[in-house]
């Protein structure tokens, strides 16, 4: 058991030290006898899913051991025929076809010679070398350009992967910071740094708060209220302690209506990570036995009992997603991710195995302490593998990996759509428009569990996914040393390097200059040029400023698929109204006057809804949200409370419609009214 792994001797960088004994997931109270169950519905039902069906995946799955195919086809492109997926021949790349990730190359039997080239250790020195013939003039031109400067002084555990990336890009690193401004600031933990007035930071303000278990659950629930079918990829969750009575009541009701339902729940402390404090229960009353829910808020969630197994083991997927910009929304997904495996064969939860963390929790940080943990020295085996290797196996078994990828893309876009409204509130507060400040981008880690039927379920989002590219290895009993981890390096270096390529400030400058020289070109021609540039793979571009670099491992999914998902962005539009009426720059909460102004400007009060009722609504909702103890720094109405009030008003005004139509109608109504009152302030976009 994991507990046995406590207090070990470690040796890092030559220094020996003893780790503190770590408390792992506590044992759950003894619940009643279990039975298997599975409640999460299969298959998405929404419009977006329908539109995405048949969409080519963002990350080209390795296509089994068949020919490589680029993932940039338009939605609706036909799936690969099964014989192509299962053929055993190495792929021959057709002209114009983008290279597969190195992992996929190896899957196809091109060991060590993937066309994308190893972005890992083998490539470490590569950045220093003069560009090869292929680079030629481009390389010389690139060498003359001022190099992009990166402050890595706060990179923490991502430092090693960042350094390799910077070497490959031949950018300039400032490991101890710099007195002059840098182009990019790479932070290992969070956004906060009041001394940055320009450039770009790799964190968004408020992201850490937004992806905490409780905040994420609330944000997703708001979307589930509006679009229940579209958001069925997140397990049903309750927030403790405030929703404990609701949890008890709902579970009782469901058991009454279906006596064969024998659920299991997973309790996760808010703000916890690496499986810390997580435990499984069979009945709501088991929570009481563990005591401290008042002192440690948590999310309790339906436990997914029937996960997809590989080698009889449960595993989850860590996918890297780049939020490149909030306004306009730009999302990229990495072609490859990691699969983290449990280390004991999976059994459905029962009284006997409920406490077995190595069977139920896929966290690397826990399973590394199991005697069964296998370090991978290639990317297709062991307890941590590339996701592409799993896809390869699945497709060789005939699974529809293309649909799986489109479901994953859909899950990622929808989750980010759920997060953006509040992120925008944080953003305008930390970096008010018109004041000097950096722009932001961020790599997020999406943890996804595949159900037996291949439906992806979101477990959580990490604002700070581990970018470590080494692992601990036991040299002799109890003595550990950090050694490079090829699988981590393969995936993570590519993600960091390509994130940097996408946010490259010089590329933007070059683009601007090109635009100026093209001013004489007609508008129609310009559009054509832009579209061409967006579709052309970086390394294939005849003017590529990055000779010798592989094609990007990050693929744009938004705005690329914006048309299919824009109808979900209702809360974004509510947030735009909220921000508009916030008034004072730098705040995140709406005062009573701001709320009254909103009601007045939008002409929402009438004989049935007096201003006194408006005040009561404001006080009731604000008080309840503030009593949940989320943020005591400011008084007033937070965005979530405003959204609740807005839904309330929408239901009042448009009685018989479904909620999302009520809300959409009220947004249109308010936007129109607010426009009439003043045209000087820009209205929320529709
Ligand atoms: P942490 O941030 O502590 O890692 P997670 O939400 O990622 O918390 O949960 C830890 C692990 O527990 C996951 O990696 C997964 O293996 C398992 N897990 C979490 N939620 C569920 C769920 N609803 N059903 C099944 N397994 C889950």
The 10s digit of each residue's pLDDT in 507-543 is: 877 766 665 554 444 443 433 333 333 334 444 344 4
Residue 359 alpha carbon to ligand 1 centre in Å: 12
More confident residue, 27 or 641: 641
Residue 459 alpha carbon to ligand 1 centre in Å: 6
Question: What is the per-residue pLDDT for 535?
Answer: 37
Residue 274 alpha carbon to ligand 1 centre in Å: 9
The per-residue pLDDT of the chain, averaged, comes to 78
Question: What is the per-residue pLDDT for 512?
Answer: 65
Ligand 1 nearest-atom number relative to CA 342: 16
Give the bridge partners for 10, in sequence order.
17, 480
Residue 189 alpha carbon to ligand 1 centre in Å: 21
Please name the residue whose Cα sits nearest to atom 19 of ligand 1.
Answer: 459
φ and ψ at 391, to 5 degrees? -60, -40
User: How many CA atoms lie less than 13 Å away from 57 in the CB half-sphere?
Assistant: 24
Neighbours of 483 (CB within 10 A): 13
Residue 640 alpha carbon to ligand 1 centre in Å: 25
- Answer whether residue 83 shows pLDDT above 80: no
Q: How confident is the model at residue 379 (pLDDT cuts 50, 70, 90)?
A: confident
Question: What is the per-residue pLDDT for 674?
Answer: 83
The answer for residues whose C-beta is within 8 angstroms of residue 529's C-beta and 6 or more apart is 518, 521
Question: What is the per-residue pLDDT for 272?
Answer: 85
Please name the residue whose Cα sits nearest to atom 17 of ligand 1.
Answer: 361
Question: What is the per-residue pLDDT for 140?
Answer: 65
Q: How confident is the model at residue 11 (pLDDT cuts 50, 70, 90)?
A: very low
Q: How far is CA 123 from CA 469, 470, 547, 605, in A?
A: 14, 16, 14, 65
Residue 303 alpha carbon to ligand 1 centre in Å: 9
- Answer whether residue 98 shows pLDDT above 60: no
- Answer whether residue 352 shows pLDDT above 70: yes
- Answer whether residue 391 shows pLDDT above 80: yes
Q: How confident is the model at residue 563 (pLDDT cuts 50, 70, 90)?
A: very high
Q: How far is CA 623 from CA 212, 592, 594, 620, in A?
A: 22, 12, 16, 5
Residue 449 alpha carbon to ligand 1 centre in Å: 9
Q: How confident is the model at residue 101 (pLDDT cuts 50, 70, 90)?
A: very low
Residue 273 alpha carbon to ligand 1 centre in Å: 9
Which residues line ligand 1 at a C-beta cut-off of 6 Å?
235, 266, 268, 272-276, 278, 301, 303-304, 316, 361-363, 447, 449, 459-460
Most confident listed range (284-288, 424-428, 545-549) = 424-428
Ligand 1 nearest-atom number relative to CA 272: 3
Rg over alpha carbons for the chain, rounded to the nearest Å, is 26
Residue 361 alpha carbon to ligand 1 centre in Å: 6
- Tokens in use for 308? 């997809």
- Answer whether residue 207 shows pLDDT above 90: yes
Q: Contact, 368 vs 471, CB < 8 A?
A: yes
Alpha helices (H) along 443-522: 486-503, 505-517
Question: What is the per-residue pLDDT for 42?
Answer: 37
- Tokens in use for 147? 């190099």
Question: What is the per-residue pLDDT for 244?
Answer: 92
- Answer whether residue 373 shows pLDDT above 50: yes
Residue 237 alpha carbon to ligand 1 centre in Å: 13
Average pLDDT over residues 563-569: 98
Ligand 1 nearest-atom number relative to CA 460: 6
Please name the residue whose Cα sits nearest to atom 10 of ligand 1.
Answer: 275
Please name the residue whose Cα sits nearest to atom 27 of ligand 1.
Answer: 303
Ligand 1 nearest-atom number relative to CA 303: 24
Ligand 1 nearest-atom number relative to CA 361: 16
SS3 592: helix
Of 57-66, 182-191, 215-224, 422-431, the least confident: 57-66
Average pLDDT over residues 45-59: 47
Please name the residue whose Cα sits nearest to atom 23 of ligand 1.
Answer: 303
Please name the residue whose Cα sits nearest to atom 14 of ligand 1.
Answer: 362
Of 126-130, 133-137, 254-258, 350-354, the least confident: 126-130
Write the DSSP string, 112-149: T--TT---SGGGTTGGGSPP-TTTHHHHHHHHHSPPPE
Q: Which of 23, 238, 361, 370 to mutate to test the pocket of ligand 1 (most atoms within 8 A of CB)?
A: 361
User: How many CA atoms lie less than 13 Å away from 380 in the CB half-sphere?
Assistant: 16
Alpha helices (H) along 96-234: 102-107, 136-144, 159-169, 207-210, 213-226
Q: Which of 338, 459, 461 to mutate to test the pocket of ligand 1 (most atoms within 8 A of CB)?
A: 459
Q: Contact, 484 vs 476, CB < 8 A?
A: no
Most confident listed range (8-17, 99-108, 129-138, 147-156) = 147-156
Most confident listed range (364-368, 440-444, 548-552) = 440-444
Q: How confident is the model at residue 341 (pLDDT cuts 50, 70, 90)?
A: very high
Residue 447 alpha carbon to ligand 1 centre in Å: 8
- Answer whether residue 467 shows pLDDT above 70: yes
């Amino acid at each position: 058991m994991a507990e046995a792994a406590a207090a070990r001797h470690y040796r890092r960088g030559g220094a020996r030290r003893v780790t503190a004994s770590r408390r792992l997931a506590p044992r759950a109270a003894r619940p009643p006898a279990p039975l298997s169950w599975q409640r999460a519905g299969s298959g998405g039902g929404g419009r977006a899913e329908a539109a995405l069906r048949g969409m080519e995946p963002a990350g080209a799955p390795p296509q089994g051991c068949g020919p490589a195919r680029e993932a940039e086809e338009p939605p609706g492109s036909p799936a690969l025929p099964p014989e192509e997926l299962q053929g055993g021949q190495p792929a021959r790349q057709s002209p114009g076809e983008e290279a597969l990730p190195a992992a996929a190359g190896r899957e196809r039997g091109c060991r060590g010679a993937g066309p994308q080239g190893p972005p890992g250790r083998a490539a470490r020195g590569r950045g220093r070398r003069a560009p090869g013939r292929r680079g030629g003039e481009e390389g010389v031109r690139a060498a003359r350009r001022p190099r992009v400067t990166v402050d890595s002084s706060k990179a923490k555990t991502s430092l090693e992967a960042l350094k390799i990336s910077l070497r490959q890009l031949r950018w300039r690193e400032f490991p101890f910071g710099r007195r002059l401004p840098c182009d990019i600031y790479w932070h290992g933990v969070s956004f906060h740094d009041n001394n940055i007035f320009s450039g770009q930071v790799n964190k968004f303000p408020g992201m850490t708060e937004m992806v905490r278990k409780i905040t994420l659950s609330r944000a997703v629930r708001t979307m589930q209220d509006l679009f229940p079918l579209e958001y069925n990829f997140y397990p049903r969750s309750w927030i403790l302690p405030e929703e404990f009575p609701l949890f008890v009541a709902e579970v009782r009701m469901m058991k009454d209506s279906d006596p064969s339902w024998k659920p299991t729940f997973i309790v996760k402390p808010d703000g916890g990570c690496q499986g810390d404090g997580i435990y499984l229960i069979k009945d709501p009353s088991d929570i009481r036995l563990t005591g401290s829910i008042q002192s440690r808020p948590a999310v309790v969630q339906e436990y997914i009992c029937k996960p997809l197994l590989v080698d009889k083991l449960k595993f989850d997927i860590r996918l890297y997603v780049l939020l490149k910009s909030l306004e306009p929304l730009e999302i990229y997904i990495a072609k490859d991710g990691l699969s983290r495996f449990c280390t004991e064969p999976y059994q459905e939860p029962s009284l006997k195995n409920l406490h077995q963390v190595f069977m139920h929790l896929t966290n690397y940080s826990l399973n590394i302490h199991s005697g069964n943990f296998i370090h991978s020295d290639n990317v297709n085996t062991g307890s941590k593998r590339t996701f592409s290797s799993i896809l390869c196996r699945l497709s060789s078994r005939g699974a529809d990996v293309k649909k799986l990828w489109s479901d994953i893309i859909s899950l990622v876009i929808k989750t980010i759509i759920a997060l953006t409204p509040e992120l925008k509130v944080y953003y305008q507060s930390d970096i008010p428009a018109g004041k000097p400040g950096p722009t932001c981008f961020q790599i997020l880690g999406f943890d996804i569990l595949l159900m037996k039927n291949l439906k992806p379920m979101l477990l959580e989002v990490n604002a700070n996914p581990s970018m470590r590219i080494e692992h601990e290895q036991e040299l002799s009993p109890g003595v550990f040393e950090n050694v490079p981890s090829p699988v981590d390096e393969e995936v993570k270096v590519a993600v960091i390097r390509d994130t940097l390529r996408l946010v490259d400030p010089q590329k933007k400058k070059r683009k601007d200059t090109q635009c100026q020289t093209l001013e004489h070109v007609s508008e129609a021609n310009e559009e054509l040029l832009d579209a061409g540039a967006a579709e052309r793979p970086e390394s294939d571009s005849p003017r590529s400023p990055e000779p010798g670099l592989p094609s990007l491992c990050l693929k744009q999914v938004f705005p690329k698929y914006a048309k299919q998902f824009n109808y979900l962005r209702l809360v974004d539009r509510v947030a735009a109204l909220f921000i508009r009426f916030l008034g004072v720059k730098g705040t995140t909460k709406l005062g009573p006057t701001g709320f009254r102004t909103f009601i007045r400007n939008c002409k929402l009060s009438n004989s049935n809804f007096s201003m006194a009722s408006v005040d009561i609504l404001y006080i009731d909702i604000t008080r309840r949200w503030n009593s949940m103890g989320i943020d005591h720094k400011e008084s007033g109405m937070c965005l979530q409370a405003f959204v609740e009030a807005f839904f309330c008003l929408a239901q009042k005004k448009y009685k018989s419609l479904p909620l999302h139509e009520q809300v959409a109608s009220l947004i249109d109504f308010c936007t129109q009214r607010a426009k009439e009152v003043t045209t000087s302030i820009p209205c929320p976009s529709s």
